[in-house]
Structure 1
């Protein structure tokens, strides 16, 4: 009954509607599997997660370590260019070695996936937790609470993310773990968008009959939020979170590229790009490998997020033309 009331009140509300979540995982899966691009993207993301989790196993399989120097594989007469074809690719070094240091590129790439994906997921979790808490509190609070929290959210949204992150990370002691710091800073600075969306959905939902009935029953505000609002907010929150992950991957790479993110010797794709900017002619694979990994990750997460969004809310049209033809939309 609750889902029917929410759906009838919010029909045609747009991409992030205040609709109740779909009736079950089976219905969601049926909609998602009609979008082949989203399924392919999900497979790519799953593979990347497996690579990140299995980085020690993959490194042991190759027999290399991400931080071990191999000076004998570097041609010092040529300025530190790797010895051998294609950047030193061999049976011992599957993707070659770094210029100047001789560190194995394959192991640094797979360990870098751990940092990039782990930081992005942790930052997204912080954003969602803060955004949902502030958004529900603003939507259910009185006029003064709503005004204070809404103005604070406006300030957070207006702040330039990269500049504020650079400033915060510059004053933190060097001993603090950088991946944890990057995740916290990005999450604490960029939760405003989530809060705005949740507040708007909460204001719409609290006018519906099932929330009014809960209030008339004497339920406290926290119980109404937990029992009635959170299930109905699941679809827009999950949708927005799935689109935040690729953004946070890019932000982590940008901070590492600017030299304030993950510090050496911890491998990170953004940090690898920073070190590779002077080697794009002498050793192009050093630049192309982390750049390609970053591009594939962001693209796959974006396509998957779009597929999740349209599967959770079939009234919303896909932003991407990939895998969203008329036949697929009709079947959905």
Structure 2
């Protein structure tokens, strides 16, 4: 409603209009009602802080992720770290690796940087390609739509892990491996988001303001940028939030299989590979990267589900109903609840009751 219409309505009714909450305000308000999502958001923020500040944290510990410490390894026992709990000490907060003596804390936080960076970069590539293909398919001509739809079907039908294994195996090792892994994941896993964007764009294309923009002579790029992208933000953000944990898992699996991030660059999947033969002698060597992966994927998944609920008004209304917001306490009737009328039995005299004498007779 325009400002002139709002002012005219206020002059007629005498009631000042209440400004509607912005989309961002509504999003944060709905997200704050979900405690699990807030806890997950705090965990994700902490993980991102650790990943960004990894060089500072390792400098504070005084260690480097790729420095060897052979003096901390018991060669007589097959390379097991010297000391309790895998060599935990004031200099090595989480112990050291078997055989190499590299600091586990330094490799864990630098591995977080690599794993999260690869997952986020792959998500950006997937969103960029998926949104472009989806919008172009919905706004293009019939043959463009059919061509892009068939390409999208092929991408969706591709087995992600098999294609990634094949592509990563044939690329020369001189190519930066984290960048390559992010590109491979992004280039072969954008099909689902393209389908979502195409369906949403077809819905938005029929709205009056989009039709008016097209009739006024705007080109497809301007229509998409000015009229469609704001309406596509919610589904794109929702799906992107769910893509990040999936990409972290894929990167860890590829590194575990030996075709992802290569040594000496630390990665959680690579740490799992190296710990495969040491989990009995030094269990923390396996539990640390596995626990980090579990917590990260769980937090990102819960946060993504919370973002989906906060961006979907129907899901948010169901959440309010399910939590009982706006209702009184259990077992207490509302003070303003209407009193049900008395029901008169069928056939009874509906006239005013006759005054009775205390002895049972009718008063004269």
Same fold (TM over 0.5): yes
Which runs of structure 2 are paired with 1:93-112 in the superposition (5 Å)? 93-112=92-111
Name the counterpart of 2:349.
none
Looking at structure 1, the residues matched to 320 and 169 of structure 2 have their Cα atoms a distance apart, in angstroms, of 44
Deviation at 1:23, TM superposition (A): 3.2
Name the counterpart of 1:9.
none
Name the counterpart of 1:271.
270
Name the counterpart of 1:225.
224
Deviation at 1:328, TM superposition (A): 7.0
Deviation at 1:329, TM superposition (A): 7.1
Which runs of structure 2 are paired with 1:114-153 in the superposition (5 Å)? 114-153=113-152
Distance 1:171-1:77 versus aligned 2 partners, 3 A rule: same
Distance 1:324-1:44 versus aligned 2 partners, 3 A rule: farther
Looking at structure 2, the residues matched to 221 and 265 of structure 1 have their Cα atoms a distance apart, in angstroms, of 47
Looking at structure 2, the residues matched to 329 and 245 of structure 1 have their Cα atoms a distance apart, in angstroms, of 32
Looking at structure 1, the residues matched to 27 and 260 of structure 2 have their Cα atoms a distance apart, in angstroms, of 37
Which of structures 1 and 2 has the bigger CA Rg? 2
Question: Gapped runs of 5+ residues in structure 2?
Answer: 3-20, 328-364
Name the counterpart of 1:262.
261
Looking at structure 2, the residues matched to 95 and 146 of structure 1 have their Cα atoms a distance apart, in angstroms, of 54
Distance 1:325-1:76 versus aligned 2 partners, 3 A rule: farther
Looking at structure 1, the residues matched to 189 and 307 of structure 2 have their Cα atoms a distance apart, in angstroms, of 22
1:287 aligns with 2:303: no
Looking at structure 1, the residues matched to 133 and 47 of structure 2 have their Cα atoms a distance apart, in angstroms, of 32
* Contact 2:127/2:236, CA 8 A, preserved across alignment: yes
1:327 aligns with 2:323: yes
* Contact 1:307/1:318, CA 8 A, preserved across alignment: no
More RCO (CA 8 Å, sep 6+): 1
1:297 aligns with 2:296: yes
Question: Gapped runs of 5+ residues in structure 1?
Answer: 3-21
1:194 aligns with 2:193: yes
Local SS of the residue matching 1:296 = helix
Local SS of the residue matching 1:315 = helix
Looking at structure 1, the residues matched to 276 and 324 of structure 2 have their Cα atoms a distance apart, in angstroms, of 43
Local SS of the residue matching 1:170 = helix
1:232-277 superposed Cα distances (whole Å, 9 cap, x missing partner): 0000000000000000000000000000000000000000000111
Which runs of structure 2 are paired with 1:230-241 in the superposition (5 Å)? 230-241=229-240
**TM score, norm. by length of structure 2:** 0.82
Looking at structure 2, the residues matched to 329 and 177 of structure 1 have their Cα atoms a distance apart, in angstroms, of 52
Local SS of the residue matching 2:173 = coil
Deviation at 1:316, TM superposition (A): 2.9
Write out the 4+ residue segments of structure 1 that deviate beyond 6 Å after TM superposition: 328-331
Q: CA-atom RMSD, angstroms?
A: 1.9
Looking at structure 2, the residues matched to 329 and 198 of structure 1 have their Cα atoms a distance apart, in angstroms, of 33
* Contact 1:123/1:186, CA 8 A, preserved across alignment: yes
Name the counterpart of 1:48.
47
Looking at structure 2, the residues matched to 205 and 251 of structure 1 have their Cα atoms a distance apart, in angstroms, of 33
Local SS of the residue matching 1:260 = coil
Q: How many pairs does the alignment contain?
A: 309
1:58 aligns with 2:63: no
Local SS of the residue matching 2:65 = coil
* Contact 2:252/2:269, CA 8 A, preserved across alignment: yes
Local SS of the residue matching 1:281 = coil
1:154 aligns with 2:153: yes
Local SS of the residue matching 1:316 = helix
Distance 1:241-1:328 versus aligned 2 partners, 3 A rule: farther
